[in-house]
Chains A and B, each alone.
Chain A
Amino acid sequence: MIGAAAPIRARRVLPGFTLSLGTTLLYLVLVVLIPVLALILKGAEIGPERFWQIVTSPRTLAAFRITLTAAAIATVFNAVYGVLMAWVLVRYEFPGKRILDALMDVPFALPTAVAGLSLTALFSANGWFGQYLDAAGIQVVYTIWGIVLAMTFTSIPFVVRTVQPVLEDLDTTLEQAAMTLGARPWTIFARVVFPAILPAFLAGSTVAFARSLGEFGAVVFIAGNLPMKTEIASLLAYIRLEEYDYIGAAAIALVLLVFALVLLLVSNLLQIWAARYREVK
């Protein structure tokens, strides 16, 4: 830029846009993109027919079905619970609130294997909870409900932590306005509060779902891992790997990857739609 006409550029907070963008991109490529790419290439090596054969084998299909079903149930539960929890944490003052708030992060902090072990201990037929459930004829451990439980536990914080800040920023005069216009509490929630938290809610639920799809450590302890019954997809991929069946493992992993990507895409489209009123023309 030589000469009098050089445009004056606004100063940026971080020095060197090129450097900072370069670093972050490089990091992204190394840590995220290359593994994903390698997986796709590995999958492409297989060839469509073989690929199709692997992913439609009864055991693989069952694993996908179990994983998706359990993750869906866990996500529905966490979505509802997450909004409720965020509401309680934002709108009420009570003793122990800060402790409860901090507890919300435990599932993030706890090694998933530890979570899996403790849940198994609690819910096994002679565990603290398990003995009563067993008496009532309900079995959790070694069933799909055990998988749901493990997935629920490890993805609890996502919805809470995405919705909470939005709720904190929500202008309470909106709710007051709705009251003066005759809206009852439930209507106010459905028509005023929920639309405001919807984009964050969708984002949180998606991440919770994606996390549940891939959850491994907590699940394998409690699931019993019976093929066709309680075997999740990522475990099956692991088993294939142990059997030196790299192709089988890659095919399963690729399908999981596609699930996750489609999920993210759909969720982002929904979020854009839910936040459409924010963009000012």
Chain B
Amino acid sequence: MTITITGMRKRFGPTEVLRGIDLTVEKGELVALLGPSGSGKTTLLKIIAGLDWPDMGGLDVDGVNWLNLPAQDRRIGFVFQHYALFPHMKVRDNIAFGLTVRPRSQRPGRGVIAARVDELLHLLQIAHLGDRYPAQLSGGQRQRVALGRALAIEPTVLLLDEPFGALDAAIRRDLRNWLREVHGATGSTSIFVTHDQEEAFELADRVVIMGQGQIEQIGSADQIHDRPATPFVANFMGATVEIPVTMRAGRIEAAGIDATRLERRVLPDGPATLFLRPDDITPIADTQGCWTIETVASTGATLRIALKDGAGNRVETVLPRRAPEAAGLTPGTRTHLRPEAGSVFPGPRPATTPAPAAQAPAKENIR
């Protein structure tokens, strides 16, 4: 199923939650929607599922206008953030639900349903839990049941909202690999929502970065990492250090910055902003440098160094403690900065860069 979303807009009262989304997801693709909390990911997913409706825009799936189709007729598998298992049904009945509610003429026989449930329980590696109630399961097990319930109707599109959000790290990793396998085995088109970069990049064929109701960039892990399309993406990907610079003939110039390791850019001359990751900045001791080390903190493996320049700008860098450059960096030392990689956007520093959601993803439980 190819999903085509065009010009989609949605507002809740005064808040514009989706501000013109254009996105095509190809048949059999696994796409991640990545973005900070509140960027509209769940809303977009719910619109695709038919649980919400946009104010404007199109939703076309294999030539069918899905906006005229109620959720029941879309044959999608939706995995909810908090699983939404039916608490009064045993695991088996939860998984069988989508089959047992079909109109009598299309409903498979009891035997067929039971066999299908068995097969899914097996695939999900929870064969021994079939007769338990959801309250008797762990988070990871509930997640598997939720997925099993969604897969039972053989969906053509699988939508997952923060499928691993509430699980601990080891189980997340486990389920991730396993989701990849399931996606491959069923051949469905899948979209999953996450605010975890690692998860998005590891799992998805393509990652869609969303920020404040807009798509900021679509690409692979490397593309997004190396070539962020907007300051928002750069910031979201961890380039939290912003330094005002001047472009001259494709070169980046700024006092106290040694830009020799950065590529030339095709940008007009004039003011620009350089976005850097703290661990892509090396302070080089230099008596003429205009940056002064304020503090040095060691985590054992790395040094976290805070610097300040004459104008009061502050920068934090991280470098390996045993790196040759690290020797002699003590508070009070004057340095210049050598960015190893970074991205530059024209114009002075934008006023509306979001907080670095990459480091501290906000908890997603606000409803």
Contact = CB atoms under 8 A, between A and B. Distances in A.
Q: With a 10 A CB-CB cut-off, give which of A171, A181, A182, A196 has the most chain B CB atoms.
A: A181
Contacts of A46: none
Given A191-B101, A278-B135, A280-B136, A184 B84 contact: no
A179 interface: yes
B201 interface: no
A176 B97 contact: no
A278 B50 CA distance: 31
Interface string B73-116: 11111101010111111000000011001100000000000000
B133 interface: yes
Contacts of B73: 182
A184 B103 CA distance: 10
Nearest to A185: B72
A178 B78 CA distance: 10
Contacts of B175: none
A157 B198 CA distance: 54
Given A182-B101, A191-B101, A177 B136 contact: no
A173 interface: yes
B133 A171 contact: no
Contacts of B50: 179-180
Interface residues of A, number: 22
A179 B46 CA distance: 12
Contacts of A173: 80, 82, 84
Contacts of B89: 277
B326 interface: no
Interface in A151-192: 171, 173-174, 176-184, 187, 191-192
B79 to A, nearest CB: 9
Contacts of B136: 280-281
Given A179-B72, A279-B135, 5 more contacts: A176-B80, A177-B86, A177-B149, A181-B149, A195-B86
8 contacts: A176-B71, A178-B86, A180-B74, A181-B150, A182-B73, A182-B102, A196-B88, A277-B134
Interface of A: 171, 173-174, 176-184, 187, 191-192, 195-196, 277-281
